[in-house]
Amino acid sequence: MSVLKIENYTKIYGGNKKACDNVSLSVESGDIFGFIGHNGAGKSTTIRAVVGVMDFDEGTIEIDGHDVRKEARECKKVTAYIPDNPDLYENLTGIQYLNFVADAFGISQAERKEKITDYAKRFGIADALKSLISSYSHGMKQKVAIIGALIHSPKLLVMDEPFVGLDPQAAFTLKEIMHEMCENGSAVFFSTHVLDVAERLCNKIAIIKKGKIIANGNVEELIGERTLEEVFLEAVKDE
Amino acid sequence: MNEQILLLKTMLTSSSNINVLRHSDDKKKRSMATGNIIGFGFIYLLLAMYTGGVSFGMSYFGLSESVPVLPATIIFALSFFLTLFKAHGILFGFKEIDLLMSMPFTVKNVVSSRFLFMYIENLKWTLVLSFSSLIGYIIGGRPSALSVIIWVVLTFFLPVIPMLVAALISALVGGIGAGFKHKNIVLTILTFILVIPLFFVRFFIEDTIKNNKIEEVVTGSADAFSNASDFIPTAKWFSDAVNDHSIPAIVLIFAISITAYEVFFFVFSKFYKRINSKLSESHTSKAKIKDKDFRAESVVMSICFKEAKRFTGSVTYMTNIGMGAVMSVVFGIAILFINVNKMISSMAGVEVDLSSVSASLVVPVLVYFFTGMVPSTACSMSLEGKNYWIIQTLPVKMMDVLKGKMLFNLFLFLPVGLFATVMSCISLKANFVEVIVALCFTITANLFSTTYGMLVGAKNMQLDWENEIQVIKQGRAVASYLLPNMLGTMFIGGGAVALGIAFKILPITIGLLSAVYLLLAILFYSRLNRQMLRN
Ligand SMILES: Nc1ncnc2c1ncn2[C@@H]1O[C@H](COP(=O)(O)OP(=O)(O)OP(=O)(O)O)[C@@H](O)[C@H]1O
Ligand SMILES: [Mg+2]
């Protein structure tokens, strides 16, 4: 069974702007799935529908066999989302935010302590967790958002341009964590503009252009002897 | 184009509903914007009918000399208070500041354009008030053409002085508070310390009037306002200018408004950057995480805690919503010292003897005016703003989120409401039945305001705001709470009190009123529950 299955997903903004047109793709357990496309192609529009922050018109999206519209809570229990802009509660401290998320997922005290301490150390943010989020830099907020997403060991991790703003060390750690998750049978679905990262990190890739999927499959099959950059530029070139 | 006008124009377009109507194709957004316009239009209409009617009445009964003071006083008081409660949020810590400061604008122009923005917003109802009063005045009093012209021109200057005073206070408070670790709390407390005595000035005015013995209610209100003009200079000048065509009065209004504006912004802009950057610094801590930092809580409590942090994290939120709570405490203390009998007589305009009726039951209704003014639930959904994704992606029941928000509102208002109620029972030596009824009323009334606020707050959620002021002071949810609640309390609560006093059955009428509030609260709660299940 697929961890994430999108079928004929269509989103129309404000009654006339078709941002996603008949998008279908599926992410299996163990996949690191890269989602690439030009600015305004429809990546965030797809991702936001997957994680349930935005309603949509047509098609179905299933996470772990549950429909995101009909069984929203079942889906959310196994999903984690990191948005492109880490807008967190500015008036909470980092640790208060993480505790809040842990409460929402019903994580035990012992477990949250272990997870938070461990991830905070790996991302080098342990010393800042008692400070207000409003005092954080962009990257620090992002790290807290990532830790919050990992607290409940999600089956599906969905990220919108996760590498923007992370320092090289943190980007490395995040990639490491993505691999660990996949070894444990989870799946990662993320959008990115960094093509060489996508090429090395992902086993599957989809390219979206003006709301339509124009390429989708295993990385090796998709690019063959070329680089992902060449394939991408070729694919999005206007006819 | 003039820098200031360019800045002002951009601010006005970015925050107005009309812009959404003109440029957005999104049907939902458009209908919300239309709803906003209609809702506020309705409030303005009521306001206009009221002031127009009173002005006409006064002129008709030969009191036209006293009419100009009426709008001038209300405009002074409202401009002052409304500006005071939003100046901080508008003047400091706005998002575009870095962008604007990096562009070739002078600090003075950036800051004064924010003030002018408040002025324009303020002008909407200033004009409604002044012109509706003018119409009543013209029909009832037949003033000279010159008086009318002076009235119209000076109207535009009336809000300037009170608004500048409010801006000055908020600049001073900002300057003092900026240096503290817990700035928001310090700023809020300073604001309250400055504002609360002003409410007593009002009582003081009322008291001096009431000692002059009143013959008629109409003359009474005329007196109240002509008396107020001794305290409010612009009201006096405006009145002299319109009635006597007094040149010094006209010159004073012009000269003081313009000079005060120039001087204030000249000085303020010198300190502005320093204050603003101090205000935007947040407290950091190097402390290590301890075991107790990981304490697990239920979802509802966790949301409630987050809500409390949201509240204490914003000066605008705290001053506007917390005002009612602070007023209840002040009232609860004051009631030990004031003569309730006299106060209620003066409010009713007739001498009433409360010693034989259960007077302690009138006070909880008055207290509810404070605790139920605007509940945090009416704006807390909208205040999620850009953070709403967090709630949306967490596997929690929406109803639990709402429960947490409602719980916070009860934590905020119920204890202070009960405090004021208990104080009044002590002060008025209430008997056992009265104490029970008074407590029941306070509890049920707050349950009502909490659930009603939550219902309109969840229904009229507005997430894409630029400034908190937009939801806290001008939000659709707050507007749709404010009016029905205020009118309801005034008519139904006032009716229950009047009937109760007249027939000496206050415990029964207030008891019934509590039952009504309780029923409504249950109704709203179950309605919320049902709506949230659908989502
Ligand atoms: N709230 C909205 N209302 C109307 N149209 C929108 C909205 N959000 C996005 N769009 C439109 O939908 C299309 C897809 O936007 P989306 O944000 O999904 O792009 P993206 O692939 O994430 O781009 P980027 O790489 O820039 O993040 C764009 O044409 C955009 O104009
Ligand atoms: Mg995007």
Residue in B494, B461, B498, B465 with CA at minimum distance from that of residue B477: B461
- pLDDT for res B352: 63
Q: Ligand 1 pocket check: which of A12, A13, A190 to mutate, most ligand atoms within 8 Å of Cβ?
A: A13
CB contact under 8 A, B282 and A132: yes
Q: What percentage of chain A exceeds 90 in pLDDT?
A: 74
- Ligand at minimal distance from the CA of A48 is 1
Segment B365-408, tens digit of pLDDT: 889 989 999 999 999 999 999 999 999 999 999 999 999 999 99
Q: In chain B, which residue's Cα lies nearest the Cα of A120?
A: B289
Strand order in the sheet with A156-160: A79-82, A156-160, A187-191, A32-37, A204-209, A212-218
Q: Which of B284, B306, B394 sits opposite A89 (nearest CB)?
A: B306
Shortest Cα distance, chain B CAs vs residue A229, angstroms: 32
Chain B residues touching residue A113 (CB < 8 angstroms): 291, 294
Q: Is A192 in the pocket of ligand 1 (CB under 6 A)?
A: no
Beta bridge partners of A27: A4
Q: Which two tokens stand for residue B347?
A: 């409010």
Nearest atom in ligand 1 to A45's CA: 18
Chain A residues touching residue B29 (CB < 8 angstroms): 14
**Would you say residue B78 has pLDDT above 50?**
yes
The Cα A187–Cα A205 span in angstroms is 13
Phi and psi, residue B127, nearest 5°: -65, -45
Q: Which of A53, A104, A131 sits opposite B285 (nearest CB)?
A: A131
CB contact under 8 A, A92 and B306: yes
Write the single-letter amino acid at B453: G
| Ligand 1 center–CA B119 separation, angstroms | 36
CB count within 10 Å of CB B211 equals: 9
Which segments of B395-481 are extended strands (E)?
A: none
Q: Is A44 in the pocket of ligand 1 (CB under 6 A)?
A: yes
pLDDT grade, residue B204 (50/70/90)? low
Q: Which two tokens stand for residue A215?
A: 């390429």
Find the mean pLDDT for residues B276-298.
84
| Ligand 1 center–CA A212 separation, angstroms | 13
pLDDT grade, residue B516 (50/70/90)? very high
- pLDDT for res B499: 86
| Ligand 2 center–CA A103 separation, angstroms | 29
The residue assigned the tokens 């006209």 is B250
The Cα B455–Cα B378 span in angstroms is 8
Q: Which two tokens stand for residue B351?
A: 């001498």
Segment A22-70, tens digit of pLDDT: 999 999 999 999 999 999 999 999 999 999 888 888 999 999 999 999 9
Report which secondary-structure segment, H or E, holds A12. strand A4-13
Please check whether residue B534 touches A, CB under 8 A: no
Q: Give the DSSP letter of residue B282.
A: P
The Cα A158–Cα A80 span in angstroms is 6
- Ligand at minimal distance from the CA of A38 is 1
Chain A residues touching residue B299 (CB < 8 angstroms): 103-104, 106
**Using only C-alpha atoms, what is the Rg of chain A?**
18
pLDDT grade, residue B218 (50/70/90)? very low
| Ligand 1 center–CA B468 separation, angstroms | 25
Residue in A139, A33, A143 with CA at minimum distance from that of residue A95: A143
**Would you say residue B535 has pLDDT above 60?**
no
Per-residue buried b or exposed e for B251-289, using 16+ beta carbons within 10 Å of the residue's own CB: ebbeebbeebbeebbeebbeebeebbebbeebeeeeeeb
User: CA–CA distance from A117 to each of A128, B28, B210, B436 (Å)?
Assistant: 12, 44, 67, 51
Q: Is A13 in the pocket of ligand 1 (CB under 6 A)?
A: yes
Write the single-letter amino acid at B206: E
Please check whether residue B394 touches A, CB under 8 A: yes
**Would you say residue B77 has pLDDT above 90?**
no
Contacts 24+ apart (CB under 8 A), B175-182: B175/B271, B175/B275, B177/B279, B178/B275, B178/B278, B178/B279, B179/B278, B181/B283, B182/B283
Segment B406-459, tens digit of pLDDT: 999 999 999 999 999 999 888 888 888 889 999 999 999 999 999 999 999 999
Per-residue buried b or exposed e for B398-415, using 16+ beta carbons within 10 Å of the residue's own CB: bbbbbbbbbbbbbebbbe
CB contact under 8 A, A131 and B395: no
Q: Which of A199-208, B10-19, B150-159, B265-274 is the least confident region?
A: B10-19
Q: Whose CA is nearest to atom 24 of ligand 1?
A: A39
- pLDDT for res B217: 39
- pLDDT for res A25: 94
Contacts of B311 (CB under 8 A, 6+ apart): B317, B318, B321, B322, B376, B408, B412
Chain B residues touching residue A52 (CB < 8 angstroms): 392-393
User: CA–CA distance from A113 to each of A101, A117, A147, B290, B295 (Å)?
Assistant: 13, 6, 12, 10, 9
CB contact under 8 A, B27 and A99: no
**Would you say residue B498 has pLDDT above 90?**
no
Shortest Cα distance, chain B CAs vs residue A211, angstroms: 19
Q: Which of A97-101, B25-29, B156-160 is the least confident region?
A: B25-29
Can you give the pTM of this predicted structure? 0.85
User: CA–CA distance from B153 to each of B130, B146, B236, B238 (Å)?
Assistant: 11, 11, 16, 11
Mutate to test the interface with B, among A50, A99, A129, A140 (most CBs of B within 10 A): A99
Per-residue buried b or exposed e for B118-154, using 16+ beta carbons within 10 Å of the residue's own CB: bbebbbebbbbbbbbbbebbbebbebeeebeebbeeb
**Would you say residue B1 has pLDDT above 70?**
no
Residue A164 burial class via C-beta count within 10 angstroms: exposed 0-12, middle 13-18, buried 19 and up = middle
**Using only C-alpha atoms, what is the Rg of chain B?**
24
Write the single-letter amino acid at B54: V
Which segments of A72-211 are extended strands (E)?
A: 79-82, 156-160, 187-191, 204-209
Write the single-letter amino acid at B317: Y
CB contact under 8 A, A76 and B393: yes
The Cα B158–Cα B241 span in angstroms is 12
pLDDT grade, residue B216 (50/70/90)? very low
Please tell me whether residue A26 adopts helix, strand or coil conformation.
strand
CB contact under 8 A, A135 and B283: yes
- Ligand at minimal distance from the CA of A53 is 1
The Cα A194–Cα A154 span in angstroms is 24
Q: Whose CA is nearest to atom 7 of ligand 1?
A: A13
CB count within 10 Å of CB B388 equals: 17
Structural domains in chain A, CATH included, are 2-78+154-236 (3.40.50.300), 92-153 (no CATH)
